[in-house]
Amino acid sequence: MTSDNFKTLHVYDTVENADTVEWCPIEPYKTSFACGTYHLADEAAANCGDSVKEYLRTGGVTIFTITEKELEVNYKVECPAVLDLKWCGRKLNGKIVLAVANAIGEIVLFHFDDKAILFMSKCVLKKKAGDFLTLSIDWTKQGDDTLMCSSDSKGNVTVIKVENDKLTILQEWNAHSLEAWIVCFDSFHQNIIYSGGDEGLLKVWDRRSEGSSSVATSKKHSAGVTALTSNIHKEYNLVSGSYDETVLFWDTRSWKRPVEEIMASGGIWRLKWEPSNRSRYLLAACVYGGFQIYDTILYKSVSEYKEHKSLAYGADWCHLEDSSIYDPIGNAKSSLVATCSFYDHTLNVSLWREP
């Protein structure tokens, strides 16, 4: 059941299956967020061959804004099915930019403002006909260059430079023997990349190394590694999640064993640190187990959200420093959380009060 310190504020039917949600981290749009959807055509149509199959996954991106009383729909963009979304953490040439990973092997950039969401550019990762999904994307947090990394259904990791609204592939290698479900940059060292694959391996890569050999590999997860997050406030701090229903906390200076472990329920799909620089609480989308918030000092779940009726895929924190205006009792220790689930195509915005 849902914990008492969660209060649902808004429920929205996304019509298509909802699988990813991301709050904008940049003022003046911290009250806005994007939700991505995924729809697979019926099986009979899917058997028509690769040339047709790649277009059978449709979806869209919807931009929402929350006010004191309402959840407003700002814009909707139809596109190939969406697997991941990421806002760039800084403006690019004065623009607020949203990156979209889609089901036809592309990364697409959109420019967002209060008037529209506009196409900027795209990068095609797919090299030949056939099924190819861009599964995960991330932006660098520091450094002079603006870089992205991606992972895909063929097990590849790709590094892309974003400059003057254009995307240029810098590096690409085969990182995993099965799907590379997740990829992220180290928040303090932009040459270091972490990836997780369906074969259960967590791998560490250094872009400066020649060849495609990982500098470290962990086999501690017993199933596909599906979630990775590098702490933006604490150096050498990485968290991984897996279908094996564990969340592992790592000191990236030593890969022999994790620092700590939390047993989850239902398998992990996404992990998100709270935006606050204390980085105490971790939000998790647990697929079959709803949504959890973990206390990373006590290393246990302190809240659960079970209002969704299907697979728990998308989850994120609002980046507002003070969310008390949305709390009927004005609790200063309140945070807005957006969650979405798949087959019931539902997006919820909730208020979470720190225990």
Are 212 and 173 in contact, with CB atoms under 8 Å apart? Answer: yes
Q: In this predicted structure, what is the pLDDT of residue 117?
A: 87
Q: In this predicted structure, what is the pLDDT of residue 332?
A: 66
∠ CA 292-298-299, nearest 5°, is 50
Would strands 225-230 and 270-273 be described as parallel, antiparallel, or unpaired? unpaired
Q: In this predicted structure, what is the pLDDT of residue 127?
A: 78
Burial of residue 307 (number of CB atoms within 10 Å: 0-12, 13-18, 19+): middle
How far is it, in rounded angstroms, from Cα 73 to Cα 92? 24
DSSP string, 21-41: EEE--STT-TTEEEEEEEEE-
Measured over the CA atoms of residue 75, residue 79, residue 82 and residue 86, the dihedral's sign is negative
∠ CA 239-98-243, nearest 5°, is 30
Q: In this predicted structure, what is the pLDDT of residue 23?
A: 98
Cα dist from 244 to 20, 136, 247, 295, 316, whole Å = 21, 19, 9, 20, 22
Contacts of 13 (CB under 8 A, 6+ apart): 345, 346, 347
Are 182 and 195 in contact, with CB atoms under 8 Å apart? Answer: yes
pLDDT per residue, tens digit, the chain (355 aa), is: 899 999 999 999 999 999 999 999 999 999 999 999 999 876 445 455 554 455 589 999 999 999 988 999 999 999 999 999 999 999 999 999 999 999 999 999 999 987 788 999 999 998 776 789 999 999 999 888 999 999 999 999 999 999 988 999 999 999 999 999 999 999 999 999 999 999 999 999 999 987 678 999 999 999 999 999 999 999 999 999 999 999 999 999 999 999 999 999 899 999 999 999 899 999 999 999 999 999 999 999 999 999 999 999 999 999 998 877 787 766 668 999 999 999 999 999 999 999 8
Q: Which domains does the chain have, with CATH numbers?
A: 6-353 (2.130.10.10)
Closest CA to 314 of 351, 266, 346: 346
